[in-house]
Amino acid sequence: MRAVLIDSEGAAPRLLPDADESLLEGEIGLDVLASGLNYKDAMALAGKGIPRTHPLIPGIDLVGRVTESGDDRFSAGDLVILNGDGIGESRHGGFATRARVRPDALVRLPASLSPDRAAAIGTAGFTAMLAVQRLEDAGLTPDDGDVLVTGASGGAGSIAIALLAGRGHRVLASTGRVEAHGEYLRDLGAAGVLDRRELSEEPGRPLQSQRFAAAIDGVGSTTLANVLAQTVWGGTVAAYGLAQGPDLPTTVLPFILRGVTLAGINSVECPLPLRERAWDALARELDLDLLDSMTTGIGLSEVIDHAAPLLAGQVRGRTVVEVDQ
């Protein structure tokens, strides 16, 4: 079994060509076919507090083929997807050629998706779809106005733009690299591109001019505070990330004077019915040509070196990890 392993807190990750499979625990044994490199994975590889146990194989995504099953719901040969559920944090994850996992969060690979494309969607796309569905479950329609996506050039932001545009929404994309990423974001479906400094440099007034019918935020901190202050009466902001920070320098005014809803998106502990609903929608709706255009492939041997550029905002779209390379 080849695997990336973090031996202890503060230890540098290392690639093991022959890791001990006795590390693995779980009712379902898998051959891992592909994984994805996410922001949270990069934080784990950089020693930024994600692992909750050691030693740990990181990787919060995996797509695999069942080799053995202690659960009647799955049989050898089944193709499955797992996002979150503690893998890559408190349980061994997808940066390995083998895995053992719990069955309770496994989703069958939709027939229309290859393992590599499912890995390209990964936790980022899964989270994006959860956010889109949360906005529309709250009543958002394409007629309501502009929908903002922050952290737009990242994996979840990129897929959120494609999904929202595909559903007919007018999308505004916020990025820190307008010149470098503007054309890319418009190709995904963004109608306009904003410089993130408009929202991120300092908290504005608790209530500002109403600009956004809804928003999907992966940034947190000052950015999220300003987004809330600029959301229209009754609008919803779905928040899934904290790239700028976990603080929220705002007041209750957007919530009690404009009826704004702040909806947290947690993909790690998402119940199975919501997982299946999101993956069914992704398989039906996501433009696979767009997905391919935002995806880069790397081998398992390259994962460790890709963490720093991802954290520095130098990687856009999605990165698939081919674990056999």
**What's the CA gap between 42 and 269, in Å, rounded?**
20
Average pLDDT over all residues of the chain:
95
- Find out whether 296 and 319 touch, Cβ atoms under 8 Å: yes
Residue-wise pLDDT tens digits, 294-321: 999 999 999 999 999 999 888 889 999 9
Tell me what pLDDT residue 77 has: 97
Same domain, yes or no: 191 and 245: yes
Tell me what pLDDT residue 237 has: 98
Residue-wise pLDDT tens digits, 90-131: 999 999 999 999 999 999 999 999 999 999 999 999 999 999
For the beta carbon of residue 283, count every other beta carbon within 10 angstroms.
17
Does residue 140 lie in a domain region? yes
Same domain, yes or no: 100 and 128: no
In single-letter form, the type of residue at position 189 comes to: G
Q: Which burial class, exposed, middle or buried, applies to 213 when counting CB atoms under 10 A from its CB (0-12, 13-18, 19+)?
A: buried
Tell me what pLDDT residue 108 has: 97
Same domain, yes or no: 222 and 245: yes
Same domain, yes or no: 139 and 197: yes
Does residue 134 lie in a domain region? yes
Does residue 275 lie in a domain region? no
Same domain, yes or no: 256 and 135: yes
Residue from 42, 66, 68, 44 nearest 115 by CA: 66
For residue 180, pLDDT beyond 90 = no
Same domain, yes or no: 105 and 128: no
Residue-wise pLDDT tens digits, 238-275: 999 999 999 999 999 999 999 999 999 999 999 999 99
Residue-wise pLDDT tens digits, 185-244: 999 999 999 999 999 988 899 999 999 999 999 999 999 999 999 999 999 999 999 999
Does residue 168 lie in a domain region? yes
Query: If you average pLDDT over residues 135-150, what whole number do you get?
Result: 98
Q: In total, how many domains does the chain have?
A: 2
For the beta carbon of residue 247, count every other beta carbon within 10 angstroms.
12
- Find out whether 127 and 186 touch, Cβ atoms under 8 Å: no
Same domain, yes or no: 89 and 175: no
User: Between 312 and 278, whose confidence is greater?
Assistant: 278
**What's the CA gap between 60 and 120, in Å, rounded?**
13
User: Between 148 and 179, whose confidence is greater?
Assistant: 148
Residue-wise pLDDT tens digits, 44-78: 999 988 999 999 999 999 999 999 999 999 999 99
Query: If you average pLDDT over residues 136-145, what whole number do you get?
Result: 98
Strand order in the sheet with 212-217: 192-195, 171-175, 147-149, 212-217, 231-239, 261-264
Same domain, yes or no: 86 and 201: no
For residue 142, pLDDT beyond 90 = yes
> How far are the Cα atoms of 5, 17, 21, 103, 143 from residue 97, in angstroms, in the given order?
12, 10, 10, 18, 47
Please state the pTM of the whole predicted model.
0.93
Range of the domain at 93: 3-109+294-322
Same domain, yes or no: 32 and 159: no
Q: Which residues contact 157 (CB under 8 A, 6 or more apart)?
A: 128, 149, 150, 151, 173, 216, 218
